Amino acid sequence: MKKLLFIILITSITLSCKKPQQDNSTNAAPTVAAEQFVVKPEATSVKWTAYKTTSKVGVGGEFKTLNFEPKAGTNPEEALNDLDFSIPISSLFTNNESRDYKLKTSFFGAMLNTAFLKGTLKVTNGAYVASISMNGVTNTLPLEVSITDQRRVTLKGTMDLKNWNALNALASLNKVCFDLHKGEDGVSKTWEDVAIEINTFLRKN
């Protein structure tokens, strides 16, 4: 009888000293997904400014359609890097039908592969460059970037048309716009540099 009581006492002490197992099912911290920055075509615009007369008067326009697949990243650079895009020339718009027609037919129409402008946006160590294919030529366009609140992105660059072998197309445009591109000095001139501005808003995923 004493032996049985001794075994019961030892068992009770052992059980009372045993560390209870922690239930991790309710105390585990929830997994938090990393915030995503998403660039979408409907939140992106492409505007340009060309120049005429020797006084270099700006003529602004835009492309109403920009085609690309929505792309995400953990930061703006990752979202924008390796972004492939295409722009239909038919979407060119300057709020002047006569000017639009001349640009589409006498400028872009004088080039090779006139249906689309195509390219890829590259980001390397904070430097933004657009590789653009136009007139059968692929060349790079360095871009200055401004990012506000990590969401609003503005990219600006200046395209020199001779880098895309487009001076003949420029001469074709100047021919049909000869009088319209005259300044006070009577000289008709169409400049070969075109300012490009891309704006987008990176949405949260």
Domain count for the chain: 1
Task: Kindly state whether residue 145 falls inside one of the protein's structural domains.
Answer: yes
Task: Kindly state whether residue 4 falls inside one of the protein's structural domains.
Answer: no
Q: Are 193 and 56 in contact (CB under 8 A)?
A: no
Higher-pLDDT residue of 28, 87: 87
Would you state the structure tokens that stand for residue 11, as one six-digit string?
């068992």
Task: Kindly state whether residue 133 falls inside one of the protein's structural domains.
Answer: yes
118-171 tens-digit pLDDT: 999 999 999 999 999 999 999 999 999 999 987 999 999 999 999 999 999 999
Neighbour order of strands in the sheet with 127-134: 83-88, 116-124, 127-134, 137-148, 152-160, 193-201, 44-52, 57-63, 92-93
What whole-number distance in Å separates Cα of residue 27 and Cα of residue 115? 59
Task: Kindly state whether residue 21 falls inside one of the protein's structural domains.
Answer: no
Find the mean pLDDT for residues 68-74.
96
Task: Kindly state whether residue 9 falls inside one of the protein's structural domains.
Answer: no
Its domain, for residue 194, covers: 36-204
Phi (first) and psi of residue 170, to 5 degrees = -65, -40
Confidence at residue 22, expressed as pLDDT on a 0 to 100 scale: 54
Task: Kindly state whether residue 170 falls inside one of the protein's structural domains.
Answer: yes
**CATH number of domain containing 77:** 2.40.128.110
Task: Kindly state whether residue 26 falls inside one of the protein's structural domains.
Answer: no
Task: Kindly state whether residue 172 falls inside one of the protein's structural domains.
Answer: yes
